[in-house]
Structure 1
């Protein structure tokens, strides 16, 4: 089932890439495995998904233990509490959800202890929703500048979770906005930010058309009753 889902997803990714004049290899398909058990993650891995993202530190550590025989590339994509950083810092290649100075500082401190430069994305709340994490678009430059001052932390792009709207076309402006924010930062600071983590099961094609480099798919990949 997971392999069939992946096949359909790959077709949609290719179509979106063709439409946008992009190459398939520009896009990382991340399995958002919050609701998937270790067995389903294992299935997805053998079908061809090599990058997975977890949202809760405790669940992540349990799954990691069950899957330690696989060379999975793990990302942390959920809201990260500062007191959980120490548990994941040596286990993830990318943290998608830096949204405040205190978290950036803690990641930097923990990374320094293990002599690592931790790649991160800054999460931006493009929809201005109170229920969601992420720095406001207005506060982005300030947080970005603060992150630049930290030696063991490297910002390589931006991430967003747009408002939950069924029609992907209505989500498009939020993705476009994140891309524009990234372009402004690149211009203002003369720094290349290669990644935009945006697009989930309902809207990943539109996200690809708007410049996503990492799409985070959960239901579309792991669920038997999600229809693409």
Structure 2
């Protein structure tokens, strides 16, 4: 085993132990929580090593980095998640490799994703990104739709050819009423998810929590956690 593979194996095991412990504390089963490893800024060689170590879900947030990385990993049994703010001019590229887009936050993006998915002959799972720092009718600083826009967006996704409504995603907000209150924020997302499932019962994904707050996300009821630094190490400084 190479030094890098051994390093990734060790850190991956620690994260999996954290998830398992959080599940025990919350009275949940570890298999209820899916680990998504966020590989942004790290090379395709790390993606390959993670796949060898059993990782099946990886995420990227920038198309210019994700597209070539995904292209070099087509032989791997991976599900690719796109988690960044997505401009419509990048949609066609993202749809060519992403299996899940977690950052749907406006009607124009739903339309663009639907057109691109149909052209590519693909079906794409989409999550509505919820901005818990957004006021009514506005978007959050990290992207995302206000809570009162969820139902409209969810219905648009559910009705759009080529798209499937998977559920909801959020990032712990840096401002607003939930700033510094990660578990409260994630519990709010789970509450919103419960309301959504009343009309869209198949929309069961709740994506929340990262390296620093995955325990709070698991305690709140997240089904997917997005972890980068805790698995891959401190990200290299860009620029």
RMSD in angstroms over aligned alpha carbons? 2.0
Shift of 1:148: 2.8
Match in the other structure for 1:49:
55
Q: Residues 181 and 202 of structure 1: is their aligned pair in 2 closer, same or farther, counting only changes over 3 Å? A: same
Consecutive unaligned residues in structure 2, runs of 5 or more: 1-6
1:119-134 pair list within 5 angstroms: 119-128=125-134, 130-134=140-144
Shifted more, 97-106 versus 32-41: the winner is 32-41
Matched, 1:138 2:148: yes
What TM-score does the superposition give when structure 1 sets the normalisation length? Answer: 0.90
Shift of 1:224: 6.0
Partner of 1:119, secondary structure, is strand
More relative contact order, 1 or 2 (CA 8 Å, 6+ apart):
1
String of CA shifts for 1:81-128, please: whole Å, max 9, x gaps: 111111121312111010000000011111122333321000000132
Consecutive unaligned residues in structure 1, runs of 5 or more: none
Aligned length: 222
Match in the other structure for 2:66:
60
Shift of 1:69: 3.4
Q: Residues 164 and 222 of structure 1: is their aligned pair in 2 closer, same or farther, counting only changes over 3 Å? A: farther
Match in the other structure for 1:10:
16
Matched, 1:77 2:83: yes
Match in the other structure for 2:197:
186
Shifted more, 41-50 versus 81-90: the winner is 41-50
What TM-score does the superposition give when structure 2 sets the normalisation length? Answer: 0.86
Match in the other structure for 1:203:
213
Distance 1:224 1:83 in 2: 30
Matched, 1:113 2:119: yes
Q: Residues 145 and 224 of structure 1: is their aligned pair in 2 closer, same or farther, counting only changes over 3 Å? A: closer
Tell me if structure 2 keeps the 8 A contact 1:123–1:133. yes
Tell me if structure 2 keeps the 8 A contact 1:169–1:206. no
Shift of 1:74: 1.0
Match in the other structure for 2:165:
155
Shift of 1:169: 7.8
Shift of 1:185: 1.6
